[in-house]
A and B are shown apart, each in its own frame.
Chain A
Amino acid sequence: MAEVLVLAELTGDGEPTRGTLEALTAARVLGEPVAVLLGAAHPAADRLARYGAARVLVAGSADPAVDLAAHLVGPAVDVLARLVADRAPAAVVVPGSAAGREVAGRLAVRTGSGFLTDVVGFAPDGTATQLAPGGTTVVQARVTCGTPVHAWRAASLTPVPAPVATVVEQVLVEPSPAREARVLARVVERSAGRPALADAAVVVAVGRGVTGAAEFALVEQLADALGAAIGASRAAVDAGFCPPSCLVGQSGTRVAPRLYVAVGISGAAQHWSGVRSAQTVVAVNSDPDAPVFALADFGVVGDLATVVPELTAQVTARRG
């Protein structure tokens, strides 16, 4: 069976990201998944094998002084381009984070291929299902030249384990960092004491409609009652209520909770492109004409300062 290269992306703790496990799950339709890890031999290899990576290629430089993480995106492109030339895979699948999309695009340009972003599924003949543009429409698409490169849209499926015995192989690659941006520092942000946004089963998100600390505290109480992660629109991040890591949307996290509660959010396309994978969406907004009501499964028209505490009380009462 043909190989499919899957770029493994790691969290700050050295675990494969959810997007990586999703990509490994989805890639099985196209061929035999081969995971590609940058850096030294890694404990993450076991996790990758549990999700179907029959082979884990650990790419590094022969010179121990060369740190592939010291440059932005480029080393991953160098490694994948080498492996595409050497192994002629059926396709390459990359987790579609901001960095992953850039890797996909640059790899396509360098190898004379096409690439697709926001991919949410594959057919055995290589056809990809995409949410495009910006998540508004379901599209069937195909790459028409070279080795197809796909940026997988995170939060599009539940990773399914498929344990295999894996072979871990070292690959030596000399990156060409001269033309890459240097990474001076990298700060991983996470909101303490709450579920991680990307994996949360319930997300309560705030927008510009939240105008003060007292109102934000009301929303936090609702989130606590629901056991939810807190998300935010760009307007709420810019207003300083939430750190940028809470941002949901095109430029932030794409979420896939069972329940998404949008509080004081208008439903702008750029925000909604991160919400499309939510199963049930409810909205609280004082403007009956807000576009969010056309996107939500259930809407409450009203001032959040009264609606949100009422909701919290009812949820708490029901949960006893």
Chain B
Amino acid sequence: MRLVVLVKGVPEPTGDLRLDLADHTLVRADSGVDPLGLHALEAALRLREAGGGTVTALTAGPAPAASVLRHALAMGTDRAVHVSDPALHGACAPQTSAVLAAALRRVGFDLVLCGAASADGQLGVMAALLGERLGVPHLSGLRTLAVAGTTVTGERQTEEGRWDLAADLPAVVSTWVLPDRPRRRTVAGIRSAAATPITTWTLADLGVDPSTVGLAAATSRVLSAGRPVRTTGRTGDPAELVRFLADRALV
């Protein structure tokens, strides 16, 4: 089975998400691998161990994104593909999905896996957009995942409850935290990852016109940004808290 996992770099979980004041894109100080992407990667490695095949890690983004691919290789990924192009700066979700779909077609896949929502953008829609672009089913927000023959199944968890889903391959799935913890990188894995070449593609390599991607051509535009949502409050003991609540008619 040809498994492809979408991994991406994200800012440290404790860091504030900030928008650039000049062009309103997300300030990228990526320093970690999106944690849910690692869960998806672990699932792919286990599927390969159980049924054979290859695992390819795929990312799109600026040059430091390659370190995310090194991480994936060190966990045991067979191959790493980096879509890197200056035109990607400020790409909106529909554009990003078009680029990733083009890369996925070129890689070839039976099952595409990604995190249900990245720790930064938090849209939670990439699997659905890829399903739409590629014309294949998407099973999103899974808490369990199984493949038997050419059928993929899983439990989707949303705010309203649980859905049991099934689809025929090829398909795209997105996962929350799965029961199996992502494996640690071994020293040998890190060494061999450093020696594994990373395939780098530009938009031209994928047959995507760069003028259709990026901030200038984005399908939506941020006009203004900035007001923080809440200000710091104060502290006190339980009695003071209850008085505070009473003043606001909350108790």
Contact = CB atoms under 8 A, between A and B. Distances in A.
A316 to B, nearest CB: 10
B224 A296 contact: no
B159 A281 contact: no
Nearest to A273: B122
Nearest to A312: B238
Interface in B71-114: 92-94, 97
Nearest to B154: A181
Contacts of B220: 114-116, 141-144
B238 A133 contact: no
Given A98-B158, A139-B224, A298 B241 contact: yes
By secondary structure, the B interface counts as mixed
Interface residues of A, number: 90
B230 interface: yes
Given A250-B122, A319-B251, A114 B219 contact: yes
B218 interface: yes
B92 to A, nearest CB: 7
A259 B164 contact: no
B140 A102 contact: yes
Contact of A99 (B158, B233, B237, B240): B158
A113 B219 contact: yes
B117 interface: yes
Contact of B222 (A73, A140, A146, A281): A140
B138 interface: yes
Contacts of B124: 98, 101-102, 250-251
Contact of B166 (A141, A184, A253): A184
Interface SS majority for chain A: mixed
B128 A102 contact: yes
B188 interface: no
B234 interface: yes
Interface of B: 13-14, 16-17, 19, 24, 26, 92-94, 97, 116-117, 119-125, 128-129, 131-133, 135-141, 143, 153, 156-167, 171, 176-177, 218-230, 232-242, 244-246, 248, 250-251
Interface of A: 11-12, 72-73, 77, 97-99, 101-102, 104-106, 108-110, 113-117, 127, 131, 133-146, 179-190, 198, 202, 226, 234, 238, 244-245, 247, 250-253, 258-259, 268-270, 273, 276, 280-282, 288, 291, 293-302, 307, 310-311, 314-315, 318-319
